[in-house]
Amino acid sequence: MQLDHSQSLDRLERRLDSVQIPPVTLGVLAVTLSLWVALLAGWVPMPTPADLPMSAPGAMERAALHGGAIGAYIVMWAVMMAAMMFPAMLPFARRYDSAMGGDWPARAAALATFFTTYGLVWAATGVVPLAVDAVVDVHALVQRAPDVTYGGTLLFAGWYQLSGFKGAALDDCCDRVTVDSPGLRKAVRLGLRHGRNCVLATWHLFALVVLVGSMNVVWMLGLTGVLVTERFPVCGREISRSVGVLAAVAGVLVLLPVPVPFL
Report d(CA 49, CA 100) in Å as an integer: 46
Q: Where residue 102 falls among pLDDT bands split at 50, 70, 90?
A: confident
Of the candidates 74, 76, 72, 83, the one whose C-alpha atom is nearest the C-alpha of residue 115 is 83
Task: Give the C-alpha distances (Å, rounded to integers) separating 220 from 95, 247, 256.
Answer: 26, 16, 26
Mean pLDDT of 224-253: 92
How many domains does the chain contain in total?
Answer: 1
CA nearest neighbour of 46 among 18, 77, 15: 77
Evaluate whether residue 263 is within a structural domain: no
- From its phi and psi, is residue 136 left (phi > 0), alpha (psi between -120 and 50) or beta? beta
What is the pLDDT, as a whole number, of residue 11? 61
Q: pLDDT: is 4 or 153 the higher one?
A: 153
User: How does pLDDT run across 172-221, given as a tens digit for each residue?
Assistant: 877 666 666 678 898 999 999 999 999 999 999 999 989 988 788 888 99
194 near 117, Cβ under 8 Å? no
Tell me, yes or no, whether 180 lies in a domain.
yes
Residue-level pLDDT at 6: 60
pLDDT band at 256 (very low <50, low <70, confident <90, very high): confident
**Backbone region of residue 165 per phi and psi (left: phi > 0; alpha: psi in -120 to 50; beta: other values):** alpha
**23 lies in which domain range?**
2-255
Most confident region among 44-58, 162-176, 197-211 by mean pLDDT:
197-211
Q: How far apart are CA 135 and CA 210, in angstroms?
A: 15
Alpha-carbon span 224 to 53, nearest angstrom: 22
Q: Would residue 260 count as lying in a domain? A: no
Domain assignment present for 261: no
Determine the Cα–Cα distance for residues 243 and 235; give it in Å rounded to an integer. Answer: 13
Question: What does residue 233 show for φ and ψ, rounded to 5 degrees?
Answer: -70, -25
Residue 96 located in a structural domain: yes
Is residue 38 a part of any domain in this protein?
yes
Alpha helices in the chain (DSSP H): 2-18, 23-40, 59-66, 70-85, 90-100, 104-124, 127-135, 138-144, 146-162, 164-174, 184-212, 217-229, 236-255
Judge whether 192 lies within some domain. Answer: yes
- Work out the percent of the chain whose per-residue pLDDT is above 70: 87
Contacts of 233 (CB under 8 A, 6+ apart): 91
